[in-house]
Chain A
Amino acid sequence: MSRKIYISVFLLVVSAIILSACASEPVVETVVVTQEVVVTEQVEVIVTQEVVVTEEVEVIVEATPVAGRCAPMSLDEVETIKIGATLPQSAPGSVVGGLAMQTAFNIAVDEINSGGGILGKDVDVIFYDTASLPERGTAAMEYLITQECVAAVVGEYHSSAGVAMKEVSKKYHIPTVFAETWNDTITGVGYEEVFRIAPASSIVAAVDANYLEALGLEYVVIVTENSDYGIPAAEATTEQLAAKGIESDTFSADIGTQDFAPVIARIQAGETPEAVLVLLTGETSYNFEQQAAEAGLMPTAETICIANQVAINSEEFWTNVPDGNYCSFRKVGLVPSLANDVTLAFEEKYRERFDRFPESYALEAYDSLMLMANAIETAGSLDPDEIIAALEATDITLAQGRYHFPYGTQNPVPADQPDWMWHQWPDVAVLFLQYFEEGQSADDAAVVWPPQYQTHDTLLIPFGESP
């Protein structure tokens, strides 16, 4: 018994020792095990995740900065440099304007390529017809950027297309120089990709208002087109006229309208306007001007005719508006007397196709491509950021004069300047000319505004009189 008791006591003591040991050991064991597991797992997980994230970012940056855009970033990766050019080549766009612009682009690309291209690479211009329609403008940009892989886009005549196009320029981060789109918002939205060498509507409206004020007028009728060019242009002109105390009424018509009899009757039934300012374009403007002349609305001794700028195509104007003598018209862009060497060289080639001094939209088309080529050469790359930086630093004399963009990313538009001054060429010349003989060439028309360019020392040759 006693032996059993001893054995039992011994086992109890041993158990007690073991249990007491166990009672203290778990703390030690737990710490050790926990530390080993936690440390091992944390190290493995963190390292693995960091490596994956880093690799993904690197792949995206090197391949395409914006999804969908397929233009390479480096000149080494291309045999030719593709530049998109949009223009109207079918109705309801101004096909006449589109044809002039296409001719100008072709002259520019011939000059660039015959001069060795851009850093040894030939330029390939891809044309797309926007027909003045917003949806075609969007389609043009999508096609040029995602299918043709152009590095940049130039051109466009109509604001309706341009307003839509600028959004796609932004979406794909593609440098774009708009040639002949006047809508203020095109540069007013402040997209870093978008530049303009045409006047903003507000620039032209200010010149119009200054001229009409100088004539001493008090009531003016504006006839405009229902488009992204016409409506904002009429609004800007109305605002500028009102600021000068000149009353105005605006009548709008769709592009392509032929019959203006009801609106002419309406104008004639009201107060006789001292001037009618035509903001319709193309053949639509000719239809209105001739019908207004036939109805005895303008030009008359009482009412000055201010025809649309397309009147500068004198042969076309006299064919379509044979009763339009004494009409004034706006001329945007360079006058022949201010032509420089680049202008004269371009004019010579342009006259081989059209025997006349190049219109503003032809000069702008030529210059827009030259400007973009110069920027790519300066950048030495197809990287849009570098091209945009080169465009912002532009200081070059082309067919319309010296180009520079005073406001951009390095020098934001100050509060006292309008938003549309962003990436806007500010030195666009806007003049008024006036025919005073039937069948007269635009080259012989009198320059009546601004005073420093007047050729006949008068603001207006009165109806029926000779200067």
Chain B
Amino acid sequence: MVDITGQYMLNLLLNGLLIGVIYALMALGLTLIFSVLGIVSFAHGEFYMIGGYVVYFVLQRFTNLHPYFAVLIAGLVTFVIGFIAERLLLQPLAKGEIERPAEYAILITFGLAFFLQFLMIAIVGPFPKKAARFFDLPEISTDILVTTATTLRIFEVPLSGNRLIAAVTAAILISATIFFMAKTWLGRGLQAVSQDRQAAAVVGINPLKMNTLAFSLGTMLAGMSGAVLVAVFSWVPWVGVPASGKSFIVIVLGGMGSMPGAVLGGLILGVVESLGAGLIPDPGRALAYKDAIGLLIFALVLLIKPTGLFGRDL
């Protein structure tokens, strides 16, 4: 039985917050797609996977390139793939050309997920990849903070430098997205369409184009979250499957279609999973319960507050 000390709790909390920020970035794209298109994309995790691979191969090919350029390239690639996918597969849905739209949306995004996953297996193979560390941490040694190239220790609590860099990058991307949505014409246009498509059309916003933009931006955010994590986790073509699951839990917790909800939901999920796995009395099974904790939250939210923390009333 582990001693529950303040240092241990701080360790769990900080690790939970770091992974929570990344969950939030993953879920942000999914919630954007849902709020504008009104569909849940089951291919979200595959864009996350592609983003990671783009960074890995770009940094392999251009070894001197700044990793953040590679992250931007990953965003661009996943934006373009999302753009094409929306135009080819989802526009007929938005135009009312599909007889059973709800079933179509589920099946077409599932199909896209399988297609992308197996396409990547064919292209890059099943071998695990991992991008090199984006940066080495600067060497610091004080009473509170000690760092090495790979590890940061704050109050003796060890944190992975890789994970810290990924979380900070994710936080920057989340801020940029929120700024884009709140302060730019396109962002406001997306919000308008998500609130009332007809009213938005009346004031000159083309809902079909906003659909394309929302899906492309959503896939881009998924791709960029994968891009920042490919230096943290080993990358395989099916790495997006659990990421998709986490994103669904986050947006249900935060409220389907709510961007602040996605951010808060991600942080809550990260912290609760970390605390749960760290405090469950049975150490042998603690980590195995981590995903179960997320699913428990998912079920409880659906039972108690189906609209989530920030969701619109049903």
Given contacts A258-B242, A262-B12, A294-B161, 16 further A-B contacts (CB under 8 A): A91-B238, A91-B241, A92-B238, A96-B128, A250-B284, A253-B288, A258-B233, A262-B276, A262-B286, A265-B15, A269-B2, A269-B7, A269-B11, A293-B150, A295-B151, A296-B158
Is A96 in contact with B127, judged by CB distance below 8 angstroms? yes
A257 in contact with B284 (CB, 8 Å): no
Is B5's CB within 8 Å of the partner chain A? yes
The CA-CA distance from A323 to B133 in the complex, in Å, is: 11
Known: A262-B15, A286-B130, A286-B234. A251 touches B158 (CB 8 A): no
A434 interface contact, C-beta 8 A: no
Given contacts A226-B288, A262-B273, A263-B287, contact A96 B126 (CB under 8 A): yes
- A-B pair count, CB < 8 Å, reads 122
Residue numbers in A under 8 Å from B130 (CB-CB): 286, 290, 319-320, 322
Inter-chain CA distance A266–B7, complex, in Å, is 11
| Known interface pairs A226-B288, A319-B128; A283-B234 also in contact (CB < 8 Å) | yes
Against B, the Cβ 8 Å flags (1 = close, 0 = not) of A280-292 are 0011001100110
C-alpha spacing A259/B15, complex, angstroms = 10
**Main DSSP-derived SS at the B contact region:** helix
Contacts of A65 in B (CB 8 A): none
A15 in the interface (beta carbon within 8 A): no
In the complex, what residue of chain A is closest to B56 when comparing beta carbons?
A319
Q: List 14 A-B contacts (CB under 8 A).
A: A95-B126, A96-B126, A254-B291, A256-B241, A259-B19, A259-B233, A262-B274, A262-B276, A269-B5, A286-B234, A294-B162, A295-B160, A319-B128, A320-B234
* 5 closest residue pairs by CB, A with B: A95-B126, A262-B277, A91-B238, A283-B128, A294-B160
Query: Which residues on the B side are within 8 Å of A322 (C-beta)?
Result: 130, 132-133
For B288, the chain A residues whose CB sits under 8 A away are: 226, 252-254
Is B138 close to A, CB under 8 A?
no
Determine if B197 is an interface residue (Cβ-Cβ < 8 Å). Answer: no
A262–B283 CB distance below 8 A = no
Of the candidates B15, B150, B242, B278, which one forms a contact with A323 in the assembled complex, judged by CB atoms under 8 Å apart? B150
Interface pair A251/B163, CB less than 8 Å apart: no
The reply to whether the CB of A106 lies closer than 8 angstroms to some CB of chain B is no
What separation, in Å, do the CA atoms of A268 and B128 have in the docked complex?
27
Chain B residues with CB under 8 Å of A414's CB are none
B290 CB within 8 Å of chain A: yes
Q: Which residues of A contact B128 (CB under 8 A)?
A: 96, 282-283, 286, 316, 319-320
Query: Which listed residue (A91, A266, A268) contacts B283, Cβ 8 A?
Result: A266
> Is B61 at the interface (CB under 8 A from chain A)?
no
Q: Is A463 an interface residue (CB 8 A)?
A: no
B287-299 contact mask (Cβ, 8 Å, vs A): 1 or 0:
1101100000000
B8 at interface by CB-CB < 8 Å = yes
Known A286-B128, A322-B133: A265·B160 in contact at CB below 8 Å: no
Answer yes or no: B285 CB below 8 A from chain A CBs. yes
Question: In the bound complex, what is the Cα–Cα distance between A90 and B121 (angstroms)?
Answer: 9
Interface size of A as a range: 35 or more
B236 at the interface (CB under 8 A from A): yes
Chain B residues near A (Cβ < 8 Å): 2-3, 5, 7-8, 11-12, 15, 18-19, 121, 125-130, 132-133, 150-151, 153, 158-163, 233-234, 236, 238-239, 241-242, 273-274, 276-278, 283-288, 290-291
- A323 nearest CB neighbor, chain B only: B150
List of B residues within 8 angstroms of A323 by Cβ: 150
A98 to B127, CA, bound (A): 11
Check: A99 CB closer than 8 A to any chain B CB.
yes
A256, B243: Cα distance in complex, Å = 11
- Taken together as a complex, chains A and B put the C-alpha atoms of A269 and B242 apart, in Å, by 28
Q: Tell me the smallest distance from the CB of B130 to a CB of chain A, in Å.
A: 5
User: Shortest CB–CB separation between residue A135 and chain B, in angstroms?
Assistant: 18
Nearest CB of chain A from residue B305's CB, rounded to whole Å: 27
B129 close to A319 (CB less than 8 A): yes
**Residues A235-293 near B (CB distance < 8 A):** 249-254, 256-263, 265-266, 268-270, 282-283, 286-287, 290-291, 293
In the bound complex, CA of A266 to CA of B12 (Å): 9
| Assembly CA distance A265 to B233 (angstroms) | 17
CA distance A316 to B130 in the complex (A): 9
Contact A294 B151 (CB under 8 A): yes
Contacts of A296 in B (CB 8 A): 151, 153, 158
**Bound state CA distance, A323 and B162, in angstroms?**
12
CB within 8 Å for A283 and B236 given contacts A254-B288, A266-B286: yes
Closest to B3 in A: A269
Query: How far is it, in angstroms, between the C-alpha of A98 and the C-alpha of B276 when the chains are bound?
Result: 35
Within 8 A of B (CB), among A73-103: 90-92, 95-96, 98-99
> For A290, what are the chain B residues with a Cβ–Cβ distance below 8 Å?
130, 234
B236 partner residues in chain A, CB cutoff 8 A: 91, 95, 283
A261 and B15 within 8 A (CB): yes
Among residues of A, the one whose C-beta sits closest to the C-beta of B276 is A262
CA distance A263 to B278 in the complex (A): 7
A291/B284 in contact, CB under 8 A:
no
Identify which of B7, B150, B287 contacts A260 (C-beta below 8 A).
Answer: B287
The reply to whether A263 and B286 form a contact with Cβ atoms under 8 Å apart is yes
